[in-house]
Amino acid sequence: MTGYAAPIRRLIDELSRLPGIGEKTATRLAVHILRAPDEEALHLAESIREVKAKIRFCSRCFNLAEKDLCGICMDDGRDHDVICVVEDPDALVAIEESGSFRGAYHVLHGVLSPADGIGPEKLRIGELLKRVDERGVREVVLATNPNVQGESTALLIMKLLGRRPVNVTRIAMGIPVGGDLKYVDKMTMAKAMEFRRST
Ligand code: ZN
């Protein structure tokens, strides 16, 4: 697309790299930002800078955190001997919002995807096994998405945990096959967690 001054073109390019944002939406957003009061546009820029400067991964569960440990890992009111394994922080937020789980989490930051060169070593699986070995974890709830990659990731973790004295469960599938936890409504998520089954 031509006709835009270089700085606007650059903004459109950057915005269109965001997931789910096509060229058209990126252009609309760029024009909106251009027309917005200076203060509003600078707040947006500042919040992007701040999130990159201040947010890191929790050293225990790899959730997003402001300190060494995330808010959930630091919460004494939760059951840290039950660990729910999720693909990404979005799924964690979806489960939290359902209010159905009071344990701890482990964020893998991806799923097995041989076609994309993502093997177990690229996920936080080693750290999960270490957590299970180091503290008396009672239950590991596998809450990867109900699609091929999510299932194969769950299967691998099941296998790796196999000989350890821990109860491994999988969330129940009220969640449509091929679906994504972050788009599941709260009630379905709560039921999936409540009716999780042993593997
Ligand atoms: Zn944490």
Quick: pLDDT tens for 88-124. Answer: 999 999 999 999 899 999 999 999 998 888 899 999 9
Ligand 1: centre distance to CA 35 (Å)? 40
Q: Please provide the average confidence, as pLDDT, over all residues in the chain.
A: 91
Ligand 1: centre distance to CA 14 (Å)? 31
Ligand 1: centre distance to CA 29 (Å)? 34
Quick: pLDDT tens for 34-87. Answer: 999 999 999 999 999 999 999 999 999 999 999 999 999 999 999 999 999 999
Whether residue 177 is predicted with pLDDT greater than 70 in this model: the reply is no
Whether residue 32 is predicted with pLDDT greater than 90 in this model: the reply is yes
Whole-model pTM: value is 0.76
Ligand 1: centre distance to CA 130 (Å)? 14
- For residues 118 and 123, what is the distance between their CA atoms, to the nearest angstrom? 8
Cβ–Cβ under 8 Å, residues 99 and 141: no
